[in-house]
Amino acid sequence: MKKTLIWLLAIVMTLGAAYYQRKTGPTHPRQVRLVLGGKAYDLTLVRSHGGDGDMPVEVNIPDTAVKGQVIYKRFPTSDPWDTLVMERHGDTLTALLPHQPPAGKLAYHIRLVHPSGEVVTETVVARFKGTVPAAILIPHILFMFAAMLLSTLAGLMALWNVPSYKRYARITLVLLLIGGGILGPLVQKYAFGALWTGIPFGWDLTDNKTLIAIIFWIYAVLAIRKKERRWTVVVAALVLILVYSIPHSMFGSTYNYETGDVVQGLLPVLSFLRRRR
């Protein structure tokens, strides 16, 4: 009964962490509601685009009296804002934001005009990326999810002194090394052109948080080889939960339009803010 309860708790905690990470990431679509001409519209502002083509921006506006524009510029730069007129296709207004190099970003907002007035959405930032083969992306997601699940399981078992915690700790480390240490860099290579932008080569938050989790789990597995140091597994499991709690792609790779390099996402933003002073 104890093991069953631990498994159920581990599954709930893992699903909760995965849902939170997905919903809070800076590349997750932004949902906004606008009222125009006496009608409310729920719009989805996309913040990520993969592949070689332009990024479609689409909003469902059945009222044919409504016209739309997308105002955008490269981010973070001092470029002037450009404007695209949205085309109507049935109930949908559409515009295509121009393709950017991997890790390139565009800031944009939508302006909707009705004979009775106009509204403007908040400005969001969309990041472009290369195409990641499914044969790499899907195993990466599965291995990382499995690592999180078994990490939580091992931590709970260690907390309640269930002997099999050691076996699950070792499996967690293997899954984490494959999913985060091997497949993770391959995903980044295809998406943004660089295998690793964390320490010692950079400060990419996604890479660094993965590295920290791997280090804690290596220490935990080595520590329990000959002694009952259950606390090391509990700590490693807590670290991985904290890592999952950090929104995915926060301060992620960003294309620097001045140098042509892909850098950690916070650096060009700080440079942009310094220029504005």
Across the chain, mean pLDDT equals: 89
Instruction: Considering the domain delimited by 30-129, tell me its CATH architecture.
Output: Sandwich (2.60)
Cα–Cα distances (Å) from 5 to 153, 180, 241, in that order, read: 10, 28, 19
Residue extents of the structural domains in the chain? 2-24+132-276, 30-129
pTM (2 d.p.): 0.81
pLDDT, tens digit (0-9, with 9 covering 90-100), for 24-79: 777 789 999 999 988 999 999 999 998 889 999 999 999 999 999 999 999 989 99
| Beta-carbon contacts of residue 87 (< 8 Å; ≥ 6 apart) | 93, 94, 95
Of 111-125, 174-188, 196-210, the range with the lowest mean pLDDT is 196-210
258 beta partners? none
> Which value, to the nearest 10 degrees, does the dihedral of the CA atoms of residues 177, 183, 189, 195 take?
10
Amino acid at 236: A
Cα–Cα distances (Å) from 188 to 10, 137, 140, 254, in that order, read: 28, 10, 11, 12
